Structure 1
Amino acid sequence: MKRFLFDCGTRDPLASTGLLVLRASFGLMMLFGHGIVKWQNYPEMLKMWNVTPAIWPLSTMSAPMSLMATIGAEVFASALLVLGLMTRPAAFILGFAMCVAAFQVHALDPFFSKGGAAKEMAVLYLIPAFVLIITGGGQWSLDAALHNDDKRRRRR
């Protein structure tokens, strides 16, 4: 379980620097651009929020619970990404939220924005989540500090 939650993936310094930039920029943009805004405007958001994932058992959630789950993903999972802590599970949670946003909330919207709502932004946030699920947080993450596995990655 520790390996699943805290494996950092690559320890190559150059690749890890790229992953740090990706994690930090993706996490901070999601945190400040979406998560904290929803958290601060919770009462107003609740009045117009009617989204629940169309996947059982999540489809049984109420709209307020769905909004709280979305805020949790956009605030807490984003903060975990910035820290590089539990990177893969946090990226999965954000990726799932972006799949719901792109393919359910914006299902009827065009893919590219022409001044209105579109799938484009949700898919653009989905791409780094997918990359981080595959690669992990890299050497410059808290995952790397917590999970030292020298047996798997030996330098020659």
Structure 2
Amino acid sequence: MLKKFLKPMKLPAPADWGVLILRVGFSLLMLTHGYAKLQNLLAGDHSFADPIGIGEELSLYLTIFAEFGCSILLILGLFSRAVLIPLIFTMVVVLLVIHAEDPFDKKEHALSFLIVYVTLFLTGPGRFSVDSGLYK
């Protein structure tokens, strides 16, 4: 069952190129957010929001894991559907908790990432991914 979940689906060649562009492009954009948080953490700044009540420090670690670590794996196309789960969860929290009371223009950034991540979750990483090579 796990192998079926991780295995990329066959897409037409143009769709594979589109998935590659989405996967790498949005991961690079997200990587900048995670890298900034990682730099703050390494500089000794452990302050962070606690939107779901698990503590500031754990929230920071999990957010860095999602935004930085999972983005690197998604660029490679390695364990793509699995690493999309923390990214989707993070964007849902940003959208519905962090920016819950904000106007739509503040929510739009998280919503854009969420739409792409859900799309990639449904399509898989495409032919140009490590996953594709692993599950041939």
Settle same-fold status: TM greater than 0.5. yes
Give the drift of 1:2: 1.9
| Higher CA-based Rg | 1
1:115 equivalent in structure 2 = none
Tell me if structure 2 keeps the 8 A contact 1:19–1:137.
yes
Q: CA deviation at 1:29?
A: 0.8
- What TM-score, normalized by structure 2, do the two folds share? 0.92
Aligned partners of 1:98 and 1:126 also within 8 Å: yes
The runs of at least 4 consecutive aligned structure 1 residues that moved more than 6 Å come to none
State the AA in 2 paired with 1:125.
F
The one-letter code sitting in structure 2 at the alignment partner of 1:38 is: K
Give the equivalent residue in structure 1 for 2:27.
Answer: 27
Name the residue aligned to 1:2.
3
More helix by share: 2
Q: Which ranges in structure 2 are unaligned for 5 or more consecutive residues?
A: none
Aligned to 2:70: 77
Structure 1: runs of 5+ lacking an equivalent: 54-58, 113-117, 149-156
- Shift of residue 110, structure 1, vs aligned partner: 0.5
- Given that residues 51 and 97 in structure 2 are in contact (C-alpha distance below 8 angstroms), is that contact kept between their aligned partners in structure 1? no
RMSD over equivalenced CA pairs, Å: 1.2
Kept in 2: contact 1:51–1:105 (CA 8 A): no
Residue 24 of structure 1 aligns with an amino acid whose one-letter code is: V
**Does the alignment pair 1:105 with 2:98?**
yes
Alpha-carbon separation, structure 2, partners of 1:133 and 1:19: 11
In the alignment, the residues of structure 2 paired with residue 146 and residue 11 of structure 1 have an alpha-carbon distance, to the nearest angstrom, of 17
SS of 1:109's equivalent? coil
* Counterpart among 120, 132, 140 of residue 128 in structure 2: 140
Aligned partner (choices 45, 59, 62) of residue 55 of structure 2: 62
Q: In 1, distance between residues paired with 2:14 and 2:35?
A: 31
Percent of aligned pairs with the same residue?
38
Q: Distance in 2 between matches of 1:146 and 1:3?
A: 12
